[in-house]
Amino acid sequence: MNIGEKLKLRRKKTGFTQEQIAEKMNITRQTLSNWEVGKNFPDIESIIKLSHIYQLSLDELLLGKIFFKGVTVMAKKLTQLEIQSMIRKHYPLASHFKELNGGLVSQTYSFQSNNEYFIFQVGNRPEVYEKERWVYHCFNQFLPLREVLDIHVPESGDVYSISRYIEGSKLFDLNSQEILDVCSDVIKTLDLLEGIEITGQNGYGRFDHTGHAGYPTWEDYIKAVYNKEIYDWTALEKKGLNSDVVDQAIKELKSHIKNVSLSKKYLVHGDLGSFNLLAKDGKIAGVIDWSLSMYGDHLYDKANILFWNEDKLQPLIQRITNKYLNTQESKEKIYCYMLRIGLEEIFNTVILDEIGYDIEWVANRLQTIINREFRK
C-alpha cells in the first residue's frame, strides 16, 4: 500500500470529501487528488496537518498502524523508569537506555552494561521468549539470530527477557539507497532459510517452544483457516465487517488448495518484513522475532512479504516477484498462502480481538489479491 492509498483510506474512514479536506488544508482539490493517486507527495508540514485532521499519529497515518484494542495488549505500558528499574535488578550498571520501535504488543529497549549492549523485551507470554531461545539454539549456525540469555517470570507483573544485542538497523529505518544496497543480501538470507530442511521434528505449521507443530500435513495447516472446528467465522458480521471478502477468499482457497503440496518441509519465519530484518553495511545482520515461525513451505515467507506489500520494500518485492513467481506452480502456492495470511489476520483481529493492523486495509488488500490475475 503506497502513501497515496493510505491518505485516501484515512480520508474515507473519517467521512470527508476531497473538497472538504482541501478547504481545511487551504490547498486545491487537485493537489490532494495528486497526493492520493501518487503523482506527488505532501511535504512534512502537510502530513502533520493531515494527521491532525484525521486525528491520527504520524505512525498511524503513514504506517497503517491503527490498532484494534484487543485483549492481548499489555494491561499497562511500563514507563522508562519502571523498565530501567527492572533491568538494573540484573545489570546494576546499565545505562544508555533506548526504546526500539516495531512491536504491536511488547515493549523493547536496548541498553548498555560493562561495554556490552543487550535487548530487553517485556509484554509477551513466557512461551514466546522460550520459543525465541529454542530457535536460536537449533538454527544459529545457519542464520544470524538473537540469543535469549534470560527469561524472567515474576510472581506478579509482566514477563520479560534479556537477549544479546545485534548491531544493525531495521529495514524500515533505512533510506531508499540503503534498501537497494541490501536487497541482494535479503535474497541470500531467504536462500539460507530455504536451505534449512526440517527432518527431526514432527508436524507442520506453527511450532511451540519445544519445537512441536500440531498439524499432520502442510495442507492441513493451510486448510485449517476454513475448518469450522478451528476457525469459527460466524461472528464476523456481528463484529462489524462485511463477510463478502472472507467468503470469496475461502472459496478461492478451497478451489486452489490442490496446488499446495510439499515433499520436504523447511523452517519458515512466518512474519518476515521490514521490522524483523536487521541490516548493517549492506548485509543482513540479524533475523529477529520468531514467535510466528513454523515448519512448512519456504514460499510462505515470500508470500508474507508480497501480501503486506510495504512501500519501503518495493525493490525487494520486485526481486521476489521475478525470482519466485516464475512458474505456474509457485504462483498458485503463493496465491494460496497470501489468501491464508489475509484470512488469519482478519480472524485474529476481528473475531479474537487481538492487536492487529488496520482491518479495512487488510480486507482491501485481500480483495485486490483475489481480483488480480498475477498467478495466470
Give me the pLDDT at residue 241, please: 77
| pLDDT(75) > 50 | no
Of 14-23, 24-33, 97-106, 147-156, which gets the smallest average pLDDT? Answer: 97-106
pLDDT given for residue 230 in this prediction? 86
Percent of the chain with pLDDT over 70: 90
Q: Which residue has the higher pLDDT, 346 or 106?
A: 346
118-127, 139-148, 239-248, 349-358: the lowest-pLDDT one: 349-358
**pLDDT tens for residues 268-280?**
999 999 989 999 9
* pLDDT over threshold 80, residue 67: no
Residue by residue, what is the 3-state secondary structure of the chain? CCHHHHHHHHHHHHCCCHHHHHHHHCCCHHHHHHHHHCCCCCCHHHHHHHHHHCCCCHHHHHHCCCCCCCCCCCCCCCCHHHHHHHHHCCCCCCEEEEEECCCCCCEEEEEEECCEEEEEEECCCHHHHHHHHHHHHHHCCCCCCCCEEEEECCCCCCCEEEEECCCCEEHHHCCHHHHHHHHHHHHHHHHHHHCCECCCCCCEEEECCCCCEEECCHHHHHHHHHCCCCCCCCCCHHHCCCCHHHHHHHHHHHHHHHHCCCCCCEEECCCCCCCCEEEECCEEEEECCCCCCEEECCHHHHHHHHHHCCHHHHHHHHHHHHHHCCCHHHHHHHHHHHHHHHHHHHHHHHHCCCCCCCHHHHHHHHHHHHHCCCCC
- Give the model confidence (pLDDT) of 279-323 as tens digits: 999 999 999 999 999 999 999 999 999 999 988 899 999 999 999
Which region among 63-67, 180-184, 186-190, 282-286 has the lowest average model confidence (pLDDT)?
63-67
Residue 235 confidence class, pLDDT cut points 50, 70, 90: confident
Is pLDDT at 59 greater than 60 in this prediction? no
Point out the least confidently predicted range of 157-166, 210-219, 322-331, 365-374: 365-374
pLDDT at position 252, please?
A: 96
Which pLDDT does position 71 carry in this prediction? 30
120 or 75, which is more confident: 120
The arithmetic mean of pLDDT across residues 40-59, rounded, is: 75
pLDDT at 76 over 90: no
For residue 218, the model assigns a pLDDT of 95
pLDDT for res 247: 94
Q: Which domains does the chain have, with CATH numbers?
A: 3-63 (1.10.260.40), 80-164 (3.30.200.20), 169-371 (3.90.1200.10)
Which carries the bigger pLDDT value, residue 139 or residue 243? Answer: 139
The pLDDT value recorded for residue 200 is 83
**Is 157 a residue whose pLDDT tops 90?**
no
